[in-house]
Chains A and B, each alone.
Chain A
Amino acid sequence: MVIGFLRTIILYLLIIAGIRLMGKRQVGELEPSELVLSLLIADLAAVPMQDFGIPLLTGIIPILTLLCITLILSVLTMRSIRFRAVICGRPSIIVENGVLRQGEMRKNRFTVDELMEELRIKGITDLTTVKYAILETNGQLSVLPYAGQLPATAAQMKCNPREGGLPAVLINDGRVLDHNLRDRGLDRAWLERQLKAHGLRDTRQVFLLSIDEGGQIYLSKKEGAL
């Protein structure tokens, strides 16, 4: 048991180091410690689950150990910037003022093809329009175009568009969500009036009915229920 405990700690730290050395692109959307945790826990749980000759404790102890270490690492990364840099790495600036930083690309094993693909995904085809492209610690590429290349906002255009706010679902697949109705200060009588206005008799004929904070209603009738 104690051997399992120590082996778990050693292997966990070793795999985190391995993931960090592999670079940011291997990480995906998780931080290295989270990725390692998710990789290991599934395997640890599966072994005692399918082999009845192994005590359950041989799965439980490593899983508990991993969860505790991850918790400790996450608290320490919150408290110490230096520790966070060691565990999660630092963001890398790949493009600065429209110029490729080839050293950073080599360091992160990030190819031109991958960079161009990421830029295309973000709707950018011209590198010179990019002020910064930053490879984040979770492996995602953040692209910040020059201010002149950004679409104009309503505020910049001195427009004052209507603020829709957060829509609340009032009918979900024929079921009335009374708590949302109450939250918006509405009642069933109001709902029935809305249905009648749309030529409907029953809430079961509605697939989705939502209302935003400005009172704008969206109604989708249920297919085949009309």
Chain B
Amino acid sequence: MDKKLEPIVKAIQDKFSATFEEFRDEVHLFVKPEQIIDALTLLRDEFNFELLSALTATDYWPQETPRFHVIYQLTSLVKNLSVQIRVPVNGSSPNVPTATRVYSVANWRERELLDMFGIEFDGHPDPRRILSPEDMEGHPLRKDFPLGYEEPQFTFNFDEIDLRKPYAKE
């Protein structure tokens, strides 16, 4: 770990009783969903992490608790440091408070996560899908969403599948 990062990691650990992992000099801090806004605000205001470089998630299905990790990749331009905050979220109620008021970039990035993973951000000013069509069902980047799957129609079941197959008809 970078020496300059040690006091920052320690501060977050003490304040939020966060656990941390290290891999190839990258630090991942784990905090609870209800602490994330305080943690981000602290990092931005006290430790100069001005840039939220990436906001994304990973799905660990079929594991349910936690099913998702919401990932905040923060960069400090002044100190030239990076730190990653991970928020484990359960599959039954994937809710995280919105970070829009801390970093404006979170607005679109959270919409992307809502669209792709179905993770809901409480208090989000504009909770719409961003990339897929609004009438789409399911969340494509979830691990239980099949890749390129379409029910094949054969002569014996053509009409049966045709009834429930979603496409525009005359």
Q: Do A and B come from one complex?
A: no
